[in-house]
Amino acid sequence: MDSIRDPKGYLIIEQTIEAPDIVRGVKEFETMTCCHCNRVVIKNPLRVRERGHCFRCNRYVCDHPGCNAGCTPVEQSLDLGLEIGSHRAPVGNNGKLIW
């Protein structure tokens, strides 16, 4: 269970331009990637409620309702798209799609 709590990535923002409302410097944020939609989420260190977790995938899921509704990992969705794309669409004698 500890492996899903570890940060999966980092976002580094380097502010080099001086502006009245912006402080110069480097900011670093932990990020996590949702296994169902592939969204990269910046972790809020002040968050107190539990983060989403898919017990079937045993991975992190974001707060999007579709990602919490069922288990469809992004890899499975991509494989399905590749499989469907590899089949040719049915074309009639006139060259137009049948369906």
Per-residue confidence at 66, pLDDT binned at 50, 70, 90? confident
DSSP-derived 3-state class of residue 77: helix
Q: Tell me if residue 35 falls in helix, strand or coil.
A: coil
The DSSP element (H or E) to which 3 belongs, if any, is helix 2-5
Q: How far is CA 1 from CA 6, 29, 55, 69, in A?
A: 10, 22, 10, 21
Answer for the pair 40, 9: CB distance below 8 angstroms, yes or no. yes
Residue predicted with more confidence, 82 or 31: 31
DSSP-assigned letter for residue 89: P
**Alpha helices (H) along 23-97:** 65-69, 74-86
Residue 32: inside a domain = yes
pLDDT tens by residue, 27-50: 899 998 888 888 899 988 899 988
Residue 7, domain member (yes or no): yes
Domain ranges, residue 65: 2-86
Domain assignment present for residue 30? The answer is yes
Q: How many domains does the chain have?
A: 1
Whether the CB-CB separation of 62 and 39 falls below 8 Å is answered with: yes
